Amino acid sequence: MNHPHLGTRHSAPGTRRRAVPLRHFVTLPLVLILAACGSTERTTRYKPFFTGLAEAEFADQPVNPDGGHIDPSLRNAAVGESAVVENPDGSKVYLTYSPSQLFIHIQNLLDEGTEEADRIILDQLTDEYTKEHMRTQGKDPIGFVADLHLYRKDIGKTFARMPMGEHTPTVVVDQPGDRTWVLNLTGQASRDLKFTRVWIRQDMGQWKLMWMK
């Protein structure tokens, strides 16, 4: 890869391989998981700025800009449901009805920087595929959260450029299958970033982070 990310770096054939820290091997097999499913990525929605104006022209035409989609976070806001629910025993449940809610929770908990916050990121906001991959590699899944801390500033920059999640005009949404979405930053919004693609997956109506690239 051309830059550090939650993935791997490959050497050209015939060149000597350089040792790479184990943290860089977190996500590669996860890509293979999707490939093994035989799924094909397809763009489900792309809505650039000025979509709907009669004279607007685009290099890439909008794809299903409305799509009949209603952001679940708006639905829950209408009934007054908080994004964080506190149980009688003091424990908290972090709701992620939209990708934006997921991104906000992850950043807030990373900044909190406590062991409890890290455990919430792992238990409630990280997808099971990611955790299972870590286990098959003989690693503690909490290592994924450690990588998020390592790249905290870069992650913050990426999330800041998709403030409306999948509805951000510069984001193209691919859907490879199995309730998985890939949010791709495009154009000027993708410049000077380590991470321009975010894999998320919906589980029981809640969005979870899979990995970033």
- Name the packing angle between helices 152-160 and 142-150 (round to 10°): 80
Q: Do the beta carbons of residue 156 and residue 148 sit within 8 Å?
A: no
pLDDT value of residue 56: 40
Q: Residue 173: is its pLDDT beyond 90? A: yes
- Name the packing angle between helices 99-112 and 152-160 (round to 10°): 150
Q: Residue 55: is its pLDDT beyond 90? A: no
pLDDT value of residue 74: 40
Q: Residue 54: is its pLDDT beyond 70? A: no
The chain-wide mean pLDDT, for the chain, equals: 75
Structure tokens at 151: 């790249």
Amino acid at position 26, single letter: V
For 93-148, the pLDDT digits (tens) are: 999 999 999 999 999 999 999 999 999 999 999 999 999 999 999 999 999 999 99
Q: Which of residues 27 and 203 earns the better pLDDT score?
A: 203
pTM: 0.66
Q: Which of residues 151 and 71 earns the better pLDDT score?
A: 151
